[in-house]
Structure 1
Amino acid sequence: MSDGGTLPDAQVYAEGNSSPQIGWSAGPEGTAGYAVTCYDPDAPTGSGFWHWTVFDIPADVTELPAGAGSGGFEGLPAGAVQVRNDYGSRGFGGAAPPEGDGPHRYVFTVYAVDQAKLGPDADATPALVGFHLRFHSVARGHLTAHYEEQGATGA
């Protein structure tokens, strides 16, 4: 996966539906933990679509291996919390834009946060987690990949 590139099939709902490998540099002074989100602002919902929200990642972790947010969550660090995505399940939910809806952006964001425990629990919504991240982030970085489900031709 590369910034500005096409989302790999492994991160597409109907293909692999697996969370990607994500690595980052250590956060600035004051970093007590991390959070990772994946959001599609182009979803035809009026409010976008949350594909993944994980937080309370320990400060000594700077990588989530492929699949950490999927299946049995192997590779997800102890203490990390995942909330329900907009599919209604905990963990990563891959791209599945409507056929013919055009390209969608999948924005993966890593947040360095100033406390080891962000506050919400696993029953929180991604929006509530985002609210807490707004006030406790000391740094963040984005990677945006694109995916499009081609529509039928000749219509």
Structure 2
Amino acid sequence: MSEEAPAMSQRAPLPYEFLPPVPSFELTSTDLTDGGTMPAAHVHSDGNESPQLAWSGFPAGTRGFAVTCYDPDAPTASGWWHWIAVDLPADATELARGAGGSDDGLPGAAFHVRNDFPGHRYDGAAPPPGPAHRYLFVVHALDVPALGLGPDTPAAVVGFHLTAHAVGRALLTVEYAQP
């Protein structure tokens, strides 16, 4: 028995559609427009600078946050993690543009977990030639102030902990294709 490959116009499902539902809250950016195209300043081969993000309306009882950027359209079975910042304090409601450049740009005891490039920072869009990829910027509201993970924890393990401790999730999606 053989399976046919999916048509190129089909896209990978969004992983958050398969996770237990949690309340959503607002995520905005002065650099990104939900549903828009990623500006060059945030593309790996250009500016490679993390965008400004701000969030509000998260659930009462939120004790910490994590911020991630994920490409579900990467040519792998596991997508591609571009940014994983964890242990942001509960009073954090914004990351300035460029905050993903190093741990020094993050509030409190927050730090970057290794992404798939690999680096301990934000690394922007870098899809192969072809159709546009989606980049999911997500702020995860958590029921713990710290996840108890280290900077080299695999992204899948971070994802497990984010799901287990999520009390809310805010999502902003942009696209980018190689010119």
Same fold (TM over 0.5): yes
- Residues 83-141 of structure 1 show CA distances to partners (whole Å, capped at 9, x for unaligned) of 11110110100101112x21100000101000101121112011111100111010001
1:5 aligns with 2:36: yes
Provide the secondary structure at the position in 1 that maps to 2:105. coil
Identity of aligned residues (%): 53
Residue aligning to 2:123: 93
Give unmatched runs, 5+ long, in structure 2.
Answer: 1-31
Measured after TM superposition, the shift of residue 73 of structure 1 is: 4.5
1:69 aligned residue: 100
TM-score by length of 1: 0.91
Q: Which residue of 2 aligns with 1:53?
A: 84
Runs of 4+ in 1 over 6 A off after TM superposition: none
Cα contact 1:67–1:74 (8 A) shared by 2: no
TM-score by length of 2: 0.80
Deviation of 1:74 (Å): 4.5
Match of 1:128 in 2: 157
Q: Which structure has more helix as a fraction of its residues?
A: 2
Deviations along 1:46-94, one digit per CA (max 9) or x if unpaired, are 2110000011000011000000011x44531120021111101101001
For residue 125 of structure 1, what is the amino acid of its counterpart? P
Q: Which residue of 2 aligns with 1:40?
A: 71
* RMSD of aligned residue pairs (Cα, Å): 1.1
The residue that corresponds to 2:137 in the other structure is: 108
For residues 42 and 64 of structure 1, the distance between their equivalents in structure 2, rounded to whole angstroms, comes to 25
The alignment of Structure 1 onto Structure 2 pairs a total of residues equal to 148
> CA–CA distance in 2 between the matches of 1:97 and 1:6?
13
Give the letter for the 1:46 counterpart.
A
Gaps of 5+ in 1: 151-155
Tell me if structure 2 keeps the 8 A contact 1:119–1:132: no
